[in-house]
Structure 1
Amino acid sequence: MNVYRVLIVEDHPFQHQYLTTVFQAAGGFEVELVWDGATALQRLSRSHYDLLLSDLMMPQMDGVQLIQQLAQLHRPPALALMTAASRRMLLGSGQVAKNLGLKVAGLISKPVREAEIISLRERLDDLTEQARTFSRRPRGCRARSTLIKALENGEIQAWYQPKKSLRDGRIVGAEALARWVHPAEGLLMPGAFLDEIENAELEIELLTSILGQTLGAQAQWARMGHSLPVSINLPTHLLDQPDLVDQLLAQVRVNQADPRQITFELTESSTTQLSSNYYAGACRLRLMGFGLAQDDFGKGYSSYFNLVSTPFTELKIDRSLVLGCGENDGLASALLSITELGRKLGLTTVAEGAETQAELAVLRRVQCDQVQGFIISPAVPRNDLAALLREDGPRPALL
């Protein structure tokens, strides 16, 4: 078992004793406690800690101010927050930390329980393994020629995460997600190479590669008797390219495919230089028959005006609103509002990131149309999705 150094910031004497006892019972921790944020920052400047656990309601320097100071450290520890205040306050403070680039290991409502401390240890185990994996990767940015070769050789592949209907449990679509089957490093997830693709200005090459692979996969599934629509991520800033829509349509037509079977998900990670390019590209995609999805709705800068002024066909609900909705009435209420809005606008609502039966139950209750997530299936190669389609069979199979 790994042993982690933890610094706890708490101003109540009873909590000092209580937290020491709980961490000792959980095992795997060396714990130090301080009374305020200023002292915590002094300790962090002199020593390395794996985790900082801080109360939000603190005198002089509150927990949010401590988060802001923590983000300025060269090597900040992972962060966990605890409070007796509302869950919304806890979630909001967690977003402050995440947006500042901190690794948030846990958000805990007081009283702190041993099971939650064990979850913190498991999260620290995960972060440690991620750091080891990252350290084994080649340093620096891969050469553009290396990325081009990976695209040309078919190492960067489209894998497919199925979407299931929450009405009858059948697979009704899929999302194409990029995976790099690297000959030396093994399977790489998008976070390991998408930034390099963007920096090398190869995003259009990646997009057309994923589209081409998807059209081939759809043809394979069609021969099995399954006409399966697929959604593909499209970085929004690519709509600045005036010929992008024509290029995508030409690729579909060359493959004798139907653009109505492809939905492009506009991501929030970027935007166009001119708002007119955004609306022109979105409208032209729809005019050519492609579906259009607002990705990650409920996260970041997605707005109601953007939703009603763009000809979307699909509304993707961000996983941050799905995670834990089975135990959080606030999240469940937000999901109800979004799905009702989607129905009124004539949009198919798709929930991302479902992981538990409790979350599925909420999504059914609010009448979300479709769901994707690990409880259904991770992204898989196209032949594996073909096997899932065979298992799905001709009759509805309830989740």
Structure 2
Amino acid sequence: MNSPRVLVLDNQGFQRDALIDMLQRLGVRDVLLASDAEQALEQLHVSGGVDIVLCDLAGRPLERLEFLRCASQLGRVRAVVLCSELSPELHRAVGQMASLSGLELLGVLSQPLQLRSLHLMLHRYSHRRQFPPAKPASLQVLPSEAEVRRGLGLGQFRAWFQPKVDLASGALVGAEALARWEHPSRGVLLPKDFLAAMLAYDLIDEMFKHVFEQGLSLMRILFRQGLELELAFNLHASQLVGSELLGHVQRTLQCHQLPGSSLMFELAENGLLDLPPGTEENLLRLRRLGCGLSIDDFGSGFSSLKQLCHLPFSQIKLEGEFVQNPLAPHNRAIITSTLALSRSLNMSLVIEGVSSQDVCDALIAMGCQTGQGYYLARPMTCQGLQQWLGRSAQAPRGEAADALKGP
């Protein structure tokens, strides 16, 4: 088998040089270097992908876990070797992320770095890739920075909305604003097609501001029609490091004359593992504005009970993977324990991924109240949501659930 292509992601010069020397001594000639996640994504974009990433998590675990997640979703990395000792919590985090995304965790290089250990990990990768032969990675082309900036400038990034409903009555309890790129030649693109680019080019705040403005404009229209709607927006944990975005949220609320209590901000659970400095204070600032905070994709990440109690979250969104077969013993245990946890912490619970009436009925029987999913209502444009609201309001009581399923 040919020597693997390796990317070394490490900002410590001495350790990086030692890794490069070890790789060369082991016959690895195709080695790429990066000192941070943004540079690493650029290297993957230019090179078309690598076999293995040698990654030091020390000091920046959140940033680098997010890089590994994005890179594996794009199909540009097959395996990872970690180059620092890990706490048990971080080790579980990386292991679970690897199993969910198909990324192969070859091992952890302890200090001091040893040539024999690295050789065994590279050999393990080569051996596994020979039997059976590996399928080529399905590479997704990362949009260029110029293309993304042009899309932002032309207003191609639009807010779509997916309702959250009361499972028993079908009543609307809120909605989530979702970013969509209405691309002129590729059609409507989902976040998986452009989120990595937004992070790589540091444009995620700019995209958020577009979606946020559109969402608040819709809320203002509905408010004038007598409908108060809690609207949720997704935030990446890295967006809360500084105070600029928080100031923008506050100014935009004042401009639209809307209360903070009308907003919910959702943060993915796997972004809460090791929050950057200042993030917790900004979470508290959002709560002081009256905004709700939701832990998104709960059950797929690595938060602890200590974090749940310490951080100012008010809602849990259970990952939809667990409700596709809700009566299976493992899934049922997760659903009922998450429901009990949310009640004990005085947090609301939203079940994601509701996909059928059978799932809906099973969740109601367990005591769950609020759900979101394609069976209940699909994501839709601003105009589509207003039409959907009109249909559900006019539908007879017995037909309201059917009206909720949307277009």
Q: TM-score, normalised by structure 1?
A: 0.64
**Partner of residue 27, structure 1:** none
Number of matched pairs: 277
Contact 1:237-1:273 at 8 Å conserved across structures: no
1:220 match: secondary structure = helix
**Partner of residue 112, structure 2:** none
Gaps of 5+ in 2: 1-74, 79-94, 105-135, 403-407
Distance in 1 (alpha carbons) for counterparts of 2:284 and 2:221: 30
Contact 2:353-2:374 at 8 Å conserved across structures: yes
2:278 match: secondary structure = helix
Distance in 2 (alpha carbons) for counterparts of 1:296 and 1:303: 14
Distance in 2 (alpha carbons) for counterparts of 1:185 and 1:223: 36
**Partner of residue 149, structure 2:** 148
**Partner of residue 210, structure 1:** 211
Distance in 1 (alpha carbons) for counterparts of 2:189 and 2:102: 25
2:155 match: secondary structure = coil
**Partner of residue 381, structure 1:** 381
Is 1:234 the counterpart of 2:248? The answer is no
Distance in 2 (alpha carbons) for counterparts of 1:178 and 1:210: 6
Is 1:363 the counterpart of 2:363? The answer is yes
Distance in 1 (alpha carbons) for counterparts of 2:276 and 2:200: 23
How far off is 1:344 after superposition?
Answer: 2.0
Contact 1:297-1:318 at 8 Å conserved across structures: yes
C-alpha change, 1:204 and 1:329, in structure 2 (3 Å) is same
2:246 match: secondary structure = helix
Is 1:194 the counterpart of 2:195? The answer is yes
1:245 match: secondary structure = helix
C-alpha change, 1:196 and 1:95, in structure 2 (3 Å) is closer
**Partner of residue 285, structure 1:** 286
**Partner of residue 333, structure 2:** 333
**Partner of residue 250, structure 1:** 251
Gaps of 5+ in 1: 1-72, 77-92, 103-130
How far off is 1:392 after superposition?
Answer: 2.0
Contact 1:348-1:369 at 8 Å conserved across structures: no
C-alpha change, 1:315 and 1:99, in structure 2 (3 Å) is same
Is 1:264 the counterpart of 2:265? The answer is yes
Contact 2:166-2:369 at 8 Å conserved across structures: yes
C-alpha change, 1:320 and 1:303, in structure 2 (3 Å) is farther
Distance in 2 (alpha carbons) for counterparts of 1:337 and 1:274: 25
Distance in 1 (alpha carbons) for counterparts of 2:193 and 2:271: 18
How far off is 1:140 after superposition?
Answer: 4.2
Distance in 1 (alpha carbons) for counterparts of 2:225 and 2:392: 12
C-alpha change, 1:74 and 1:192, in structure 2 (3 Å) is closer
- What is the letter of the counterpart of residue 270 of structure 1? G
**Partner of residue 311, structure 1:** 312
How far off is 1:167 after superposition?
Answer: 3.8
What are the residue-to-residue correspondences of 1:55-94 with 2, within 5 Å?
Answer: none
- What is the letter of the counterpart of residue 330 of structure 2? G
Distance in 1 (alpha carbons) for counterparts of 2:164 and 2:246: 25
How far off is 1:142 after superposition?
Answer: 2.5
Distance in 2 (alpha carbons) for counterparts of 1:177 and 1:199: 20
Distance in 1 (alpha carbons) for counterparts of 2:292 and 2:77: 44
Residues 8-38 of structure 1 show CA distances to partners (whole Å, capped at 9, x for unaligned) of xxxxxxxxxxxxxxxxxxxxxxxxxxxxxxx
How far off is 1:246 after superposition?
Answer: 1.9
- What is the letter of the counterpart of residue 100 of structure 2? K
C-alpha change, 1:75 and 1:284, in structure 2 (3 Å) is closer
Q: TM-score, normalised by structure 2?
A: 0.62
Distance in 1 (alpha carbons) for counterparts of 2:197 and 2:261: 31
Contact 1:166-1:371 at 8 Å conserved across structures: yes
What are the residue-to-residue correspondences of 1:154-169 with 2, within 5 Å?
Answer: 154-169=155-170
Contact 1:240-1:273 at 8 Å conserved across structures: no
**Partner of residue 20, structure 1:** none
Distance in 2 (alpha carbons) for counterparts of 1:382 and 1:245: 25
**Partner of residue 353, structure 2:** 353
Is 1:392 the counterpart of 2:392? The answer is yes
Contact 1:238-1:272 at 8 Å conserved across structures: no
C-alpha change, 1:309 and 1:383, in structure 2 (3 Å) is same
Contact 1:239-1:272 at 8 Å conserved across structures: no
**Partner of residue 98, structure 1:** 100
How far off is 1:225 after superposition?
Answer: 2.7
C-alpha change, 1:269 and 1:153, in structure 2 (3 Å) is farther
Distance in 1 (alpha carbons) for counterparts of 2:347 and 2:297: 14
How far off is 1:270 after superposition?
Answer: 3.4
Contact 1:235-1:269 at 8 Å conserved across structures: no
Q: Percent identity?
A: 27
C-alpha change, 1:246 and 1:140, in structure 2 (3 Å) is same
- What is the letter of the counterpart of residue 362 of structure 1? A
CA RMSD after TM alignment: 2.8
Distance in 1 (alpha carbons) for counterparts of 2:249 and 2:76: 44
User: Which is worse superposed, 388-397 or 295-304?
Assistant: 388-397
How far off is 1:366 after superposition?
Answer: 2.0
Distance in 2 (alpha carbons) for counterparts of 1:192 and 1:96: 20
Contact 2:163-2:175 at 8 Å conserved across structures: yes
How far off is 1:379 after superposition?
Answer: 0.7
Distance in 1 (alpha carbons) for counterparts of 2:77 and 2:259: 51
How far off is 1:208 after superposition?
Answer: 1.3
Distance in 2 (alpha carbons) for counterparts of 1:273 and 1:347: 22
Distance in 2 (alpha carbons) for counterparts of 1:319 and 1:274: 24
Distance in 1 (alpha carbons) for counterparts of 2:344 and 2:381: 35
Distance in 2 (alpha carbons) for counterparts of 1:74 and 1:184: 24
